[in-house]
């Protein structure tokens, strides 16, 4: 059975705001995801990198990107020397600033990028620093190198649906009301709302895993929804198309009435493909 993973970009990112808050709770400076368009490119081709960077204090966010020049150890996504090494500067090459950022895949080969992941893919490691005021954090994104097979494309999120707000634990209806950007739904302390997102047709792709020494396999990729909010708690931080529903409960981290709650859903596939949507609720 596949395990659904939150998009914590790598170990340097503070996925939780403190030892008690879940990764789905957004406070202060956070980077929730990176979307590359396209997510798989060959040497000499460019991809546009867009970081879903947010700061709940409303400060301007700066982004500084680097290419990691070291190979990761087996089982690691990002080379440790690029993250925590004492001489990390020598392992990094400046790649640009800001978001979106156009980045050109350098002249690399599969063998120069280390070992493939579980999907048979090879990735260029990109590191970035986000800063807002006195806050600073690091994050990474792995840009997939195009091989000989059909290339991955980003999945597309189409909507967020909800049911009517109701007391926590009450029987709920199927979420069938559209939660639209710019049209917040009111939620009172002690209530919860059932949420569901969906991918557009064609978002689920098949791909071949061709690792030397093993038979070629055709695989249908798994997609996931990752949920984030600036208040409350989720019954499920990560959901799937087979079990898409989560409940946002205004039971903890409850702001004052009239406060806007920001909500994000990040859709991901297994090969670096990403999409995200933003919606709002308001505390009643």
pTM tops 0.85, yes or no: yes
pLDDT tens column, 26-64? 999 999 999 999 999 999 999 999 999 999 999 999 999
* Residues in Cβ contact with 196 at an 8 Å cutoff, skipping those fewer than 6 apart: 160, 161, 162, 175, 239, 244, 245, 246
In a domain, 16, yes or no: no
Domain of 221?
29-283
In a domain, 176, yes or no: yes
In a domain, 3, yes or no: no
CB 153 within 8 A of CB 273: yes
Q: What is the mean pLDDT of the chain?
A: 90
In a domain, 123, yes or no: yes
In a domain, 13, yes or no: no
In a domain, 14, yes or no: no
In a domain, 2, yes or no: no
Position 9 scores a pLDDT of 53
Q: Which of 180, 189, 199 is nearest to 239 (CA)?
A: 199
Torsion of CA 43, 99, 93, 45, to 10 degrees: 10
Least confident among 29-38, 96-105, 201-210:
201-210
In a domain, 214, yes or no: yes
In the chain, how many domains are there?
1
What kind and span of H or E run contains 236?
A: none
């Amino acid at each position: 059975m596949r395990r659904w993973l939150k998009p914590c970009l790598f170990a340097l990112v503070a996925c939780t705001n403190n030892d008690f808050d879940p990764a789905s709770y957004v406070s202060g400076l956070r980077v929730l995801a990176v979307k590359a368009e396209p997510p798989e490119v060959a040497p000499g081709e460019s991809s546009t990198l867009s970081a879903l960077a947010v700061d709940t204090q409303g400060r301007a966010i700066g982004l500084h990107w680097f290419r990691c020049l070291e190979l990761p150890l087996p089982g690691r996504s990002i080379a440790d020397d690029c993250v925590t090494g004492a001489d990390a500067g020598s392992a990094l090459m400046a790649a640009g600033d800001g978001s979106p950022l156009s980045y050109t895949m350098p002249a690399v080969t599969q063998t120069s990028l280390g070992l493939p992941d579980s999907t048979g893919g090879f990735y260029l490691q990109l590191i970035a620093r986000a800063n807002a005021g006195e806050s600073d954090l690091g994050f990474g994104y792995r840009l997939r190198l195009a091989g000989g097979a059909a290339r991955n494309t980003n999945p597309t999120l189409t909507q967020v649906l909800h049911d009517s707000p109701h007391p926590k634990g009450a029987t709920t209806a199927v979420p069938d009301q559209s939660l639209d950007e710019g049209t917040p739904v009111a939620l009172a302390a002690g209530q919860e709302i059932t949420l569901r997102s969906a991918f557009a047709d064609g978002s689920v792709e098949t791909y071949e895993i061709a690792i030397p020494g093993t038979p070629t396999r055709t695989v249908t990729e798994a997609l996931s929804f990752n949920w984030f909010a600036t208040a409350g708690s989720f019954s499920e931080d990560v959901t799937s198309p087979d079990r898409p529903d989560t409940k946002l409960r205004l039971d903890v981290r409850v702001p004052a009435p009239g406060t806007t709650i920001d909500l994000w859903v990040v859709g991901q596939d297994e090969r670096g493909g990403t999409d995200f949507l933003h919606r709002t609720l308001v505390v009643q």
